[in-house]
Structure 1
Amino acid sequence: MSTAEKIKEIEAEMARTQKNKATSFHLGILKAKLAKLKRELLTPKSSGGGGEGVGFDVAKTGVARVGFVGFPSVGKSTLMSKLTGTHSEVGAYEFTTLTTVPGVVTYKGAKIQLLDLPGIIEGAKDGKGRGRQVIAVARTCSLIFLVLDVLKPLTDKHLIERELEGFGIRLNKEPPHITFKKKDKGGINMTSTVPLTHLDLDQVKAILSEYKIHNADVGLKCDATVDDLIDVIEGNRVYIPAIYVLNKIDQISIQELDLIYKVPHAVPISAHHGWNFDGLLDMMWDYLDLVRIYTKPKKLMPDFNEPVVLRRGHTSVEAFCNNIHKAILREFSHALVWGSSVKFNPQKVGKDHILQDEDVVQIVKRL
């Protein structure tokens, strides 16, 4: 039996198994088996043939990467062309884009790479079409635009989410607060800091046994599910923010548009008419969580045209210096900072100081 057939067999068994407390143990085992088989399917051993991913992988540029994911003919290429001026084949038929088309948009002084990915089809996670290569590129993105046809958003949304989930991409989720460490002996030791309603020690042992792990420390700092535990054991999941870009709003009524604004993580647009691009770019900036830091040479005004753009959580003065040039820290004495991260302007700070958006920094060298 092939791996794909084994997957279908387990999925069929899970579908016909009633979900209740009595069956949760059995379902947990099935989920672990399924995760292992999907890993085998999605990361096959190299056949040495090569060339299968040609045109998909693109060198990273800019401070962040945004991938356009969606079914064929939902307007990804039109949106890409309008935002970046990059030519991406546009047509009223499926699979117009056959490779990854890169472009760059400059927003708030930051250069952000946009990738127009070929349309995926249902079954992409199982290797249908060229979905495996498309989703592999999506895994490298800082943010995903799920481009949907506003006339059938929920159907397409669920299908695409299922494809991405099957490839280890978790959208708009935080990694589960679980620590997992294999050891040589001592059996399975489980600790938790919160009440557990989905897992117990026997379930954890059974799931780990599927992975041939019989000695490990598992620490649960959240009310984790079986899926959360499997994600941590697999260790290859990526957690990526996503915006649902609901295209073709020129084809719906004002009343329908009001409902769309209530959909979480969604922004309505018309790629053809260029409607609400400002709203889309503002939301993109918020979800990328970028911070602009302005440089100030000694005795000169700050340079507000070319900010140093950093990811939030990596905005120390040291990270700021390294972003400009690693040699700066060798002569670093201190920094003078103006802005919301300091109590008075300017304030003398060290390299561990955490900068905030739109701070101004002057680096002072050692004498």
Structure 2
Amino acid sequence: MAGIEDQIKEIEDEIQNTVYNKATSKHIGRLKAKLAKMKEEAVNRAMKAGGGGEGYAVKKSGDATVVLVGFPSTGKSTLLNVLTGTQSETGAYAFTTLTVVPGALEHKGAKIQLLDIPGLIAGAAMGKGRGKEVIAVVRNADMIVLLVDVFNEKHVDVLFRELYDAGIRVNVPKPDITIKKTSRGGVRLNAVGTLDLDIEEVRSILTENRIASADILIRGNATQDDLIDAIMGSRVYIPAIIAVNKVDLIDEKDRKKIEEDLTERFGQKPIMISAATGYHMEELKDAIYNALGFIRIFLKPQAGPADMDEPLIMRTGSKIEDVCRKLHRDFVDKFRYARVWGTSVKHEAQRVGIAHNLADEDILQIIIER
């Protein structure tokens, strides 16, 4: 009897060889749902294998946590040392880093925790190498730097595939899908906006997951894969950037070719760097900061000017309530109102409520009960 990895390969081949059209969409949806369950089972089995291992417990700190993900010997440890001053052991051989080494990067007022982890290899999602521990750290990060070197830039494909197989969705928004199982009534599909999925595809996917009756609400468009991810419920959605290291070892022509190739294949321009020489380190810091979606909020006390030197670092989409929780838990309960100066309001010193959305460089004054 074929092992689970062989069965996974058979299904992947069948999906690859089946032309997608209206007549085959239902069948493909069922195969994808079956494949997702099998991969989830394989990953879970790998994570439980050899139970009792310590793993890598890393306490998050700062305004966000960023993990350096790459094959062994791509220069992750050197990069961490350059960006943070942390002394992570380096060497010209694989698996120099045998544990997680944290470092602190301060940039534009933000305190960013960087994690150097053991190299990720093909098969990591299924537990190969130090895949079990490494994947666990990546899943808890706020952002990923995918690091490859100029001689192995094709490793980006492997990294994306391993992260995907481990349930990590890179640079895609979480689909807005609500699934409510019901005891009877079959499958009812409701959509807000244009939806390419039809009810038969949805039923086929749900049937493979042993769901006979459910109310499905999809806001915005969604694919079969999006629906399957929503059913599985174990996916994490993390932004990432691609950095290509050791560019000082090749000429400008080859450097440009690699940059153009990765941009075309992944829809984002990679940061071409040299950790050894410090080339493009500021550009990399800016890319990390921007990918994290930071905004700067300047706090103004009731009496006196705003502190324009040390902003409070928040994330795009933050509300005043989020600021209150970050400052002190009592601020939410005692909140009366706030005044805001900046682009998120129509006029200066506008009075707003706790649900107000803030924008970058807003000045905020919070009034609480005394």
Fold similarity call, TM over 0.5: yes
Match of 1:68 in 2: 68
Are 1:33 and 2:31 an aligned pair? no
Displacement after TM superposition at 1:358 (Å)? 1.7
Match of 2:174 in 1: 175
Match of 1:349 in 2: 352
Match of 1:278 in 2: 282
Moved more, 258-267 or 131-140: 258-267
Is 1:242–1:265's contact at 8 Å kept on the other side of the alignment? Answer: no
Q: What is the CA–CA distance in structure 2 between the aligned matches of 1:292 and 1:112, rounded to whole Å?
A: 14
Q: What is the CA–CA distance in structure 2 between the aligned matches of 1:144 and 1:236, rounded to whole Å?
A: 18
Question: Secondary structure of 2:146's partner?
Answer: strand
- Mapping of residues 324-363 of structure 1, within 5 Å: 324-363=327-366
Would you identify which runs of 4 or more consecutive aligned residues in structure 1 move more than 4 Å? 45-50, 193-197, 259-262
Displacement after TM superposition at 1:150 (Å)? 2.2
TM-score normalized with structure 1 length? 0.90
Question: Secondary structure of 1:44's partner?
Answer: helix
Moved more, 232-241 or 334-343: 334-343
Q: What is the CA–CA distance in structure 1 between the aligned matches of 2:109 and 2:79, rounded to whole Å?
A: 21
Q: What is the CA–CA distance in structure 1 between the aligned matches of 2:169 and 2:47, rounded to whole Å?
A: 26
Q: What is the CA–CA distance in structure 1 between the aligned matches of 2:48 and 2:214, rounded to whole Å?
A: 34
Unaligned runs of 5+ in 1: none
2:210 to 200, 204, 212: 212
Q: What is the CA–CA distance in structure 2 between the aligned matches of 1:331 and 1:275, rounded to whole Å?
A: 49
Question: Secondary structure of 2:321's partner?
Answer: helix
Question: Secondary structure of 2:59's partner?
Answer: coil
Q: What is the CA–CA distance in structure 1 between the aligned matches of 2:195 and 2:355, rounded to whole Å?
A: 38
1:322 to 301, 311, 325: 325
- Percent identity for Structure 1 against Structure 2: 46
Displacement after TM superposition at 1:195 (Å)? 5.3
Q: What are the superposed Cα offsets for residues 261-320 of structure 1, whole Å, 9 maximum, x if unpaired?
A: 542142111111111111111111111111111222344333234322111112x22221
Q: What are the superposed Cα offsets for residues 35-69 of structure 1, whole Å, 9 maximum, x if unpaired?
A: 11111122239969644243x22011011110110
Q: What is the CA–CA distance in structure 2 between the aligned matches of 1:165 and 1:72, rounded to whole Å?
A: 19
Question: Secondary structure of 2:310's partner?
Answer: strand
Is 1:67–1:143's contact at 8 Å kept on the other side of the alignment? Answer: yes
Q: What is the CA–CA distance in structure 2 between the aligned matches of 1:310 and 1:38, rounded to whole Å?
A: 36
Are 1:97 and 2:109 an aligned pair? no
2:228 to 224, 227, 230: 230
Moved more, 61-70 or 213-222: 213-222
Match of 1:4 in 2: 5
Task: Note closer, same or farther for the CA distance 1:124–1:336 as it changes in structure 2 (3 Å cut).
Answer: same
Task: Note closer, same or farther for the CA distance 1:177–1:298 as it changes in structure 2 (3 Å cut).
Answer: closer
Q: Give the root-mean-square deviation of aligned CA atoms.
A: 2.4
Q: What is the CA–CA distance in structure 2 between the aligned matches of 1:192 and 1:335, rounded to whole Å?
A: 37
Are 1:252 and 2:253 an aligned pair? no
Q: What is the CA–CA distance in structure 2 between the aligned matches of 1:48 and 1:281, rounded to whole Å?
A: 37
The one-letter amino acid paired with 1:310 is M
| Count of residue pairs brought into register by the alignment | 362
Displacement after TM superposition at 1:249 (Å)? 1.3
Match of 1:127 in 2: 127
Is 1:4–1:126's contact at 8 Å kept on the other side of the alignment? Answer: no
Displacement after TM superposition at 1:133 (Å)? 1.8
TM-score normalized with structure 2 length? 0.89
Q: What is the CA–CA distance in structure 2 between the aligned matches of 1:223 and 1:337, rounded to whole Å?
A: 35
Q: What is the CA–CA distance in structure 1 between the aligned matches of 2:103 and 2:151, rounded to whole Å?
A: 27
Task: Note closer, same or farther for the CA distance 1:124–1:348 as it changes in structure 2 (3 Å cut).
Answer: same
Q: What is the CA–CA distance in structure 1 between the aligned matches of 2:102 and 2:357, rounded to whole Å?
A: 33
Match of 1:83 in 2: 83
Q: What is the CA–CA distance in structure 2 between the aligned matches of 1:43 and 1:206, rounded to whole Å?
A: 24
Are 1:147 and 2:147 an aligned pair? yes
Task: Note closer, same or farther for the CA distance 1:363–1:27 as it changes in structure 2 (3 Å cut).
Answer: closer
Q: What are the superposed Cα offsets for residues 50-96 of structure 1, whole Å, 9 maximum, x if unpaired?
A: 44243x22011011110110101011110001111111111101111
Is 1:308–1:323's contact at 8 Å kept on the other side of the alignment? Answer: no
The one-letter amino acid paired with 2:139 is R
Displacement after TM superposition at 1:327 (Å)? 1.9
Is 2:188–2:215's contact at 8 Å kept on the other side of the alignment? Answer: yes
Task: Note closer, same or farther for the CA distance 1:340–1:57 as it changes in structure 2 (3 Å cut).
Answer: same
Unaligned runs of 5+ in 2: none
The one-letter amino acid paired with 2:355 is D
Match of 2:367 in 1: 364
Displacement after TM superposition at 1:233 (Å)? 0.9
The one-letter amino acid paired with 1:289 is G
Q: What are the superposed Cα offsets for residues 164-183 of structure 1, whole Å, 9 maximum, x if unpaired?
A: 11011111111234332211
